Amino acid sequence: MAADFRVPDLVGALRDLVLQIPRGQVSTYRAVAEALGDPEVAGFVGHWLLSPEAEGLPVHRVVHASGALGRAWGKTPEQAAQALGREGVRVVGLKVEPLARFFFWAFTSERPLAQLRAEQEAIARQVKLAPLPAVELLGAVDVAYRGEEAVAAFVLARANGEELDYVTARAPARFPYVSTYLAYRELPAYLAAVRAADRAGLRPEVILVDGNGVLHPRGAGVASHLGVVLDRATVGVAKGHLCGRVNTVGMTIGEWRPVVLGEDTAGAALRTDRNVTLFISPGHKADLGTSLALVGELTAQGAFPPPLALAHDLAREAAQGQQY
């Protein structure tokens, strides 16, 4: 399956959609997001339109659902209002009035995010949840970025966290950061790092991944995606709360609480320090109990599993052009 892994040109698709909005009409962040295939990424659309990557595009033609003009790269709302006025769009008080009269929705799009969602759902169906075997060697992967290049580090360690060896690898990172689609940004570098580790003879029983496993809206976080693609045991260790219901108020160090997604317990919130809560979930060929036990032992003396902390530092330093 690894050979079939593909990363679509999401930025190119977004640029094309903005260019489709004709003079004299406007669209909304949500409508553009829907044309990408997921209306929930409207925030990403708005953020991207503020970036230098949007330079030269008619970004003033994308507005809020209320008709209010938004901020866009190179233009204040007042400048956007002037540009729209010159194109024949009626703007009253920095708001398109009436929006329905000027609204454009007839985008031509392959809806790439809808295709990726379907792929994630297929990945989730292939996830196997089973207790980890006795772990003697574990791997840990994290990634850092320099421009459009991702640098991943793979650390091999004993089950007690003692570092044994490491490798780094690089891969293109052309897919932007879009919440719930992290695998399409990070997985090429993770695959390169794991394969480099394999060539070096560094093959653990399980790989810890900085990210979510099945604790994901579609059950296929980056740890699950990596595990299924490689058919290897993986465990997700996320620093942030992506989804699911959990009350972390009043937790003490070493305490964990279930994270419920739908009707299932998909992960666990583990308090590892006064202000640090990790979110643990099985990725592939693991279950929650053994995943939590493994990470719990590794964090008994610190906030983060030492192999993951080292992978983070190694990836960051390599991305900056430095080496230990």
- 194-217, pLDDT tens digit by residue? 999 999 999 999 999 999 999 999
Mean pLDDT of 48-54: 93
Q: How far apart are CA 38 and CA 30, in angstroms?
A: 9
**Would you say 171 and 152 are in contact if contact means Cβ atoms under 8 Å apart?**
yes
Q: How far apart are CA 23 and CA 7, in angstroms?
A: 32
Domains along the sequence of the chain with CATH: 2-110 (1.10.10.10), 121-319 (3.30.2170.10)
Q: For the chain, how big is the Rg over CA atoms in Å? A: 22
In this prediction, residue 4 carries a pLDDT of 53
CB atoms near residue 87 (< 10 Å): 16
- Is the pLDDT confidence value at 142 over 80? yes
| Band of pLDDT at residue 76, cut at 50, 70 and 90 | confident
